[in-house]
Amino acid sequence: MNRPFILVVDDEPDIRQLVGDILEDEEYEVALAENGAHARAMYKEHRPDLVLLDIWMPDIDGISLLKEWQQEGESFAPVIMMSGHGTVETAVEATRLGAYDFLEKPLSFAKLLLTVERALETDRLQRENIGLRRQIQGYVEPVGKSAAIERLRDQVKRLAQHDTHVLFTGEPGCGKETLARYLHANSARRDGPFVDVGVGTIAPEFSAVELFGREEGGTVHYGLLEQAHGGVLFLDEVAEMDPETQLRLLSALESGSFLRVGGSDQVHVDVRVIASTRRSLEDEVQAGRFRKELYYLLNVVSLAVPPLREHSEDIPELLAFYVDFFVTREKLPFRKFPVAVQNFLRNFVWYGNVRELKNLVQRLLILGTGDEIGMEEVKAALGSVVSAESVEHPQFYGLPLKDAREHFEKSYLEYHLERNEGSVAKLSSAIGMERTHLYRKLHSLGIKFKEKK
| SS3 state of residue 261 | strand
Q: Domain 395-444: give its CATH code.
A: 1.10.10
Cβ(240)–Cβ(429) below 8 Å: yes
H or E, element range at 147: helix 147-159
46 vs 168, residue with greater confidence? 168
Q: What angle do CA 304, 307, 308 make, to 5 degrees?
A: 140
| SS3 state of residue 381 | helix
- Two domains, one topology: 5-134 and 147-304: yes
Cβ(426)–Cβ(433) below 8 Å: no
CA-to-CA dists, residue 175 to 143, 323, 389, angstroms: 10, 18, 27
What residues does each domain of the chain span? Answer: 5-134, 147-304, 308-382, 395-444
pLDDT at 58: 84
Tell the CATH topology of 308-382.
Helicase, Ruva Protein; domain 3 (1.10.8)
Range from 78-92, 176-190, 246-260 carrying the lowest mean pLDDT = 78-92
Per the prediction, the chain carries an average pLDDT of: 85
The residue type at 423: S
Confidence bin at 317 (pLDDT 50/70/90): very high
Q: Name the nearest CA neighbour of 249 among 224, 231, 230, 227.
A: 224
Pairing label, strands 166-169, 301-304: parallel
Q: Name the nearest CA neighbour of 179 among 148, 153, 144.
A: 153
Peptide bond into 106 cis (omega under 30): yes
Q: Which CATH superfamily is domain 5-134 in?
A: Response regulator (3.40.50.2300)
Give the whole-number percent of the chain exceeding pLDDT 90.
46
Domain 147-304 in CATH 3.40.50.300: yes
The residue type at 183: L
pLDDT at 204: 83
Strand partners, 7: 31, 51
397 vs 25, residue with greater confidence? 25
This prediction's pTM: 0.62
pLDDT at 451: 54
The residue type at 39: A
Buried b / exposed e over 430-440, threshold 16 CB at 10 Å, is: beebebeebee
First to last CA, the chain: 39
pLDDT in tens, 248-287: 999 999 999 999 998 888 888 999 999 999 999 999 999 9
In whole angstroms, give the CA distance from residue 128 to residue 138. Answer: 13
Helix axes 375-382, 353-367, angle to 10 degrees: 120
Confidence bin at 428 (pLDDT 50/70/90): confident
| Helical residues (DSSP H) of 196-280, grouped into ranges | 204-212, 224-227, 243-255
| SS3 state of residue 272 | strand
pLDDT at 137: 42
The sign of the torsion formed by the CA atoms of 203, 207, 209, 210 equals positive
CA-to-CA dists, residue 187 to 121, 180, 229, 308, angstroms: 19, 11, 15, 26
In whole angstroms, give the CA distance from residue 181 to residue 192. Answer: 12
